[in-house]
Amino acid sequence: MKFLFKLSALILCLISSSSFAGETQVRGFGTLGAVQHDSDTLEFRRDLGLSSEKSDTWSLASDSILGIQVDHQFSEQWSAAGQLVYKNRVDQTLDNSLEWAYLRYSPDLLPITIRLGRTAPSVFMLSDYRNVGFAYLWARPPVEFYGPLAFDSIEGIDFSYTSYFEEAFFRARLTLGQVENNFLEKEIVIEASPMATTSLLWEIDQWKFHFGYAYLDINKTPSYFNPLIAQLELIEPFWPGASEIKDRLDIKGTKFNFYSAGVAYDSANWTAQAEINRIETEGSIFTSSQSAYISLGRRLGDWTIYSIAALSENTDEVYEAPIAPPPFTALRNFAQNDFSSVGMNQKSLGIGARWDMTNNTALKMQWDHVWLEPYGAGLWGTEVALSQKEQIDVISISLNFLF
Amino acid sequence: MKYFISIILTILAVLPSERSLAEIVIIVHPENEISEISHKQVVDYYMGRLRFFPNGQRVLPLDQSMNSLSRKQFYLKLTGKTIPQINAYWARLLFAGRATPPAQLQGKRDVIDTVSSNKSAIGYVLAGDLPDSVKIVARVE
pLDDT given for residue B5 in this prediction: 72
Instruction: For residue B1, give Cα distances in angstroms to A48, B4, B6, B7.
Output: 82, 5, 9, 10
Instruction: For residue A349, give Cα distances in angstroms to A96, A238, A257.
Output: 32, 49, 27
The answer to whether the beta carbons of residues A367 and A34 sit under 8 Å apart is no
Q: Which of A110, A153, A162 to mutate to test the interface with B (most CBs of B within 10 A)?
A: A162
DSSP-assigned beta bridge partners for residue B136:
B27
CA atoms within 13 A on the CB side of A146: 23
Residues on chain B bordering chain A, Cβ-to-Cβ distance under 8 angstroms = 44, 49-50, 52, 56, 58, 66-67, 80-85, 87-88, 91-92, 94-98, 100
The answer to whether the beta carbons of residues B23 and B70 sit under 8 Å apart is no
Does the distance separating the beta carbons of A83 and B92 come in below 8 Å? no
Q: Show Cβ contacts of residue A257 under 8 Å, excluding neighbours closer than 6 positions.
A: A213, A214, A215, A279, A280, A281
Instruction: For residue A365, give Cα distances in angstroms to A170, A399, B102.
Output: 34, 9, 31
- What's at A285, amino acid-wise? I
Nearest chain A alpha carbon to B58: A108
Query: Which SS3 state, helix, strand or coil, does residue A86 take?
Result: strand
- What's at A335, amino acid-wise? A
Rounded Cα distance, B139 and B136, in Å: 8
Does the distance separating the beta carbons of B96 and A128 come in below 8 Å? yes
Query: Which SS3 state, helix, strand or coil, does residue A49 take?
Result: coil
Instruction: Specify the DSSP element, H or E, that contains A75.
Output: none
pLDDT surpassing 70 at residue B17: no
Rounded Cα distance, A152 and B91, in Å: 18
Per-residue pLDDT for chain A (403 aa), expressed as one digit of tens each?
Answer: 455 556 656 666 655 554 445 689 999 999 999 999 998 889 998 998 888 877 678 888 889 999 999 999 998 889 999 999 999 998 889 988 999 999 999 988 888 999 999 999 989 999 999 999 999 999 999 999 999 888 999 999 999 999 987 778 999 999 999 999 988 887 788 999 899 999 999 999 899 999 999 999 999 999 888 999 999 999 989 888 899 999 999 999 999 999 999 999 999 899 999 999 999 998 888 999 999 999 999 999 999 999 999 999 999 888 888 888 888 888 898 889 888 888 899 999 999 999 999 999 999 999 999 999 998 999 998 888 888 999 999 999 999 999 9
Rounded Cα distance, A204 and A40, in Å: 47
The answer to whether the beta carbons of residues A354 and A362 sit under 8 Å apart is yes
Q: Which residues in chain B have their CB less than 8 angstroms from residue A83's CB?
A: 95, 97
Instruction: Specify the DSSP element, H or E, that contains A64.
Output: none
Rounded Cα distance, B121 and B59, in Å: 6
Least Cα distance to A101 among A75, A71, A128 occurs for: A71
DSSP designation for A133:
G
pTM summary value: 0.87
ipTM, 2 decimals?
0.86
How many A/B residue pairs have CB atoms within 8 Å? 71
Concatenate the DSSP letters of all residues of A201-266 into one string: EEEETTEEEEEEEEEEEEEE--GGGHHHHHHHHHHTTT-THHHHHHHHH--TT-EEEEEEEEEEEE
pLDDT given for residue A1 in this prediction: 46
Rounded Cα distance, B141 and B25, in Å: 9
- φ, ψ of residue B80 to 5 degrees: the values are 75, 10
pLDDT surpassing 60 at residue B18: no
In tens, the pLDDT along B20-57 reads 447 899 999 999 888 899 998 999 999 988 888 888 88
First to last CA, chain B: 38
Measure CB to CB from residue B50 to each of A134, A164, A358 and give the nearest one: A164
Q: Show Cβ contacts of residue B2 under 8 Å, excluding neighbours closer than 6 positions.
A: none
pLDDT given for residue B20 in this prediction: 41
Measure CB to CB from residue A100 to each of B85, B91, B97 and give the nearest one: B97
Nearest chain B alpha carbon to A126: B92
Ramachandran area for residue A291 (φ above 0: left; ψ -120 to 50: alpha; else beta): beta
Instruction: Specify the DSSP element, H or E, that contains A335.
Output: helix A329-342
In tens, the pLDDT along A22-64 reads 689 999 999 999 999 998 889 998 998 888 877 678 888 889 9
Burial class (CB in 10 A: 0-12, 13-18, 19+), A232: buried
Measure CB to CB from residue A359 to each of B49, B67, B97 and give the nearest one: B67
Strand duo B60-63 + B103-104: pairing: parallel
pLDDT given for residue A123 in this prediction: 92
Nearest chain B alpha carbon to A83: B95
Rounded Cα distance, A370 and A377, in Å: 11
Kindly report the three-state secondary structure assignment for every residue of chain B.
Answer: CHHHHHHHHHHHHHCCCHHHHHCEEEEECCCCCCCCCCHHHHHHHHCCCCCECCCCCECEEEECCCCCHHHHHHHHHHHCCCHHHHHHHHHHHHCCCCCCCCEECCCHHHHHHHHHHCCCEEEEEECCCCCCCCEEEEEEC
Burial class (CB in 10 A: 0-12, 13-18, 19+), A237: exposed
Instruction: Specify the DSSP element, H or E, that contains A175.
Output: strand A168-182
Maximum C-alpha span of chain B: 68
Geometric angle at alpha carbon A66, from A95 and A212, rounded to 5°: 75
Q: Nearest CA to CA, how far is A362 from chain B (Å)?
A: 9
Does the distance separating the beta carbons of A136 and B84 come in below 8 Å? no
Does the distance separating the beta carbons of B95 and A132 come in below 8 Å? yes
Rounded Cα distance, A221 and A249, in Å: 8
Burial class (CB in 10 A: 0-12, 13-18, 19+), A26: exposed
Nearest chain B alpha carbon to A301: B82
Residues on chain A bordering chain B, Cβ-to-Cβ distance under 8 angstroms = 25, 27, 29, 67, 69, 71, 76, 81, 83, 100, 102, 104, 108, 115, 119-120, 122, 128-129, 131-132, 134-136, 160, 162, 164, 169, 268, 302, 356, 358-360, 362, 402
Q: Which residues in chain B have their CB less than 8 angstroms from residue A403's CB?
A: none
**Alpha-carbon dihedral A247, A253, A146, B98, rounded to 10 degrees:** 170
Burial class (CB in 10 A: 0-12, 13-18, 19+), A290: middle
pLDDT given for residue A166 in this prediction: 75
In tens, the pLDDT along B49-103 reads 888 888 888 899 999 999 999 999 999 999 989 999 999 999 999 998 888 899 9
Does the distance separating the beta carbons of B80 and A81 come in below 8 Å? no
pLDDT surpassing 60 at residue B15: no
